[in-house]
Amino acid sequence: MNKAAKSISALGLAAALNGGVMAGEVEDKFMQMIESGDAYSAETLMPLFEQLEAVDTDFMVGTWHGGKFDGGKEPDPLNWYGKRFTSRSDVEPLLFTAPDGSVQTYTKMGGAQMREIQFGDKVSAALIYDQHPIMDYFRKVNDDVVIGLGDIKGKPLDFFFHLTRDK
């Protein structure tokens, strides 16, 4: 076994011993969780979220379709579609699917902006609502999928969601 292979093997062993997961395995795990549509607790999601790569605000520009890790058990009166990031200072934080199938902005929550903010040990893109004490922290699963962690002032830090970039 060459030196690089030994290092990779040692990293894998260290990750296994520490209860961690290698980067590709974290991506695979999140993709499986998203595809399953099952419910996952914050205790399951947080350690994986913390291992994901940070993203900058430029990465987030675009329209994203969202989903929650609640297993479909929570009613969705809004018919949430996702989020639209036009620029650092112009974000539509809540989009919904109207009865006619069109994607609309949910204006009652107001707008938002993005900044790069430290959460845990990483500085990454975060969405800051203009009119509400809410911030969403983002981490990269791959080039088209991010995981968001909603931080609502006064509530437990346990609302995770996923966004997939619209093509």
Q: What is the dihedral of CA 40, 61, 57, 53, to 10 degrees?
A: 40
Within 8 A by CB and 6+ apart from 124, the residues are: 54, 55, 56, 116, 117, 137, 138, 139
Residues of the chain with pLDDT under 70: 1-21
Q: What confidence score (pLDDT) does residue 21 get?
A: 55
Q: What is residue 6's predicted lDDT score, i.e. its pLDDT? A: 34
Q: Exposed/middle/buried for 29, CB within 10 Å: 0-12, 13-18, 19+?
A: middle
Alpha carbon 154 to chain centroid, angstroms? 20
List the structure tokens of 164: 């997939």
Q: Which residue, 87, 91, 93, is CA-closest to 57?
A: 87
pLDDT score, position 2 = 40
User: What tokens were used for 157?
Assistant: 């830090």
pTM of the model: 0.85
Question: Does the domain formed by 3-165 have CATH 2.40.40.20?
Answer: no
**Tokens representing residue 62 in the block:** 């675009």
Distance CA 27, CA 52 (A): 8
